[in-house]
């Protein structure tokens, strides 16, 4: 992109002068002489080819163009100041912002975060749960955990955890008129879906079950809601091993039969190429990988 930018010190001088409506006060603010401000403003006006101020006797007025240019200049300078401040604060401040999708945050990351806090009490982790891909250039996010196939451009992405997919349900469903004991029994139960609508179809296909309609049953926008519904005995959910691990250990969910499907995609740790070795980011990454290891789901490239 080719930009046509005015001399930036001149813009800065103009903005201060316009705000104060005085070259002298602007000079005080910027710690230069009044003449320097006069110079700068003049040069900006010359560069633009139009007057920004009307000089009155002992008074300064903005022209109409100056008025609207002030709004633009002020906005740009504010944003530049803010962005610069953030950039400089980023490493000093002990805050680490991690973006990940809601289900993973709620069922896997947050329950384990206490251990990170214990190991790194100086780093405050901020979890930003949202399901859209983060743009590190636009948002104030240090790193992210994403699910997918990898190969994203312009970022460092390390595959660290895989998963398997299998049905889970409340232990209540193991009893009753149609106890869930084998995949064939699914036809007597309600299937619960998340937005990955293909999952049940794939699983049933892999399990060789053809008399269960993979499209029926309620659908939820997040896996954590699906799991909640399953815990309440509303039906059978397809569980992703990292997300249901804890619930199974606690006994709120059970895996009624052994057959599992290995997921096609994996979990990735993602951060900007340039900041991969920054201490707090590396610390979080190492901890994350160790947690996956602990769960026995760590994979290494």
Partner DNA sequence: CAATAATACTGATGCGTTGG
Partner DNA sequence: CCAACGCATCAGTATTATTG
The dihedral through the CA atoms of 144, 147, 153, 159 has a sign that is: positive
State in angstroms the smallest separation of the CB of 4 from DNA.
15
Residues 6 or more apart whose CB falls under 8 angstroms from that of 192 comprise 217, 218, 219, 220, 226, 229, 230, 234, 235, 236, 237, 238
Task: CB nearer to DNA: give 16 or 180.
Answer: 16
State in angstroms the smallest separation of the CB of 58 from DNA.
5
The dihedral through the CA atoms of 45, 46, 48, 49 has a sign that is: positive
Site of interaction with DNA (CB under 7 A): 7, 9, 22-24, 31-36, 38-43, 55, 57-58, 60
State in angstroms the smallest separation of the CB of 25 from DNA.
8
State in angstroms the smallest separation of the CB of 86 from DNA.
24
Q: How many CB atoms lie within 10 A of CB 147?
A: 19
Task: CB nearer to DNA: give 30 or 158.
Answer: 30
State in angstroms the smallest separation of the CB of 27 from DNA.
8
Task: CB nearer to DNA: give 65 or 246.
Answer: 65
Task: CB nearer to DNA: give 56 or 208.
Answer: 56
Task: CB nearer to DNA: give 52 or 173.
Answer: 52
Longest distance between any two alpha carbons in the chain, whole Å: 96
CA-CA distance, 227 to 52, in Å (whole number)? 63
State in angstroms the smallest separation of the CB of 268 from DNA.
37
Task: CB nearer to DNA: give 43 or 102.
Answer: 43
Helix axes 110-119, 279-294, angle to 10 degrees: 120
CA-CA distance, 291 to 173, in Å (whole number)? 31
The token duo for 159 is 């595959």
Taking CA atoms, 252 is separated from 160, 217, 227, in Å, by 27, 21, 10
């Amino acid at each position: 992109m080719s930009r046509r930018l005015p001399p930036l010190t001149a813009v800065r001088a103009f903005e201060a002068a316009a705000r104060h409506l005085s070259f002298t006060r602007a000079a005080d603010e910027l710690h230069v002489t009044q003449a320097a401000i006069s110079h700068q403003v003049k040069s900006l006006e010359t560069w633009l080819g139009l007057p920004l101020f009307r000089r009155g006797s002992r008074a300064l007025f903005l022209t109409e163009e100056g008025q609207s240019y002030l709004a633009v200049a002020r906005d740009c300078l504010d944003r530049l100041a803010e962005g610069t401040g953030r950039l400089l604060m980023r490493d000093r401040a002990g805050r680490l912002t991690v973006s990940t999708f809601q289900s993973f945050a709620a069922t896997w990351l947050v329950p384990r975060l206490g251990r990170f806090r214990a190991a790194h009490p100086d780093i405050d982790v901020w979890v930003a749960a949202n399901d859209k891909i983060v743009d590190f250039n636009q948002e104030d996010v240090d790193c992210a955990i994403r699910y997918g196939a990898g190969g994203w451009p312009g970022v460092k992405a390390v595959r660290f955890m895989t998963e398997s997919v299998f049905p889970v349900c409340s232990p209540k469903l193991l009893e009753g008129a149609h106890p869930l004991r084998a995949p064939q029994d699914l036809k007597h139960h309600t299937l619960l879906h998340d937005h990955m609508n293909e999952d049940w179809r794939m699983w049933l296909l892999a399990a060789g079950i053809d008399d269960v309609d993979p499209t029926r049953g309620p659908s939820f926008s997040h896996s954590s809601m699906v799991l909640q519904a399953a815990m309440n005995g509303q039906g059978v959910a397809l569980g992703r091993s990292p997300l249901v691990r804890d619930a199974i250990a606690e006994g709120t969910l059970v895996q009624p039969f052994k057959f599992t499907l290995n997921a096609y995609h994996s979990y990735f740790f993602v951060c900007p190429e340039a900041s991969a070795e920054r201490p707090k980011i590396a610390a979080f990454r190492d901890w994350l990988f160790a947690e996956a290891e602990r769960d026995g789901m760590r994979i290494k490239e």
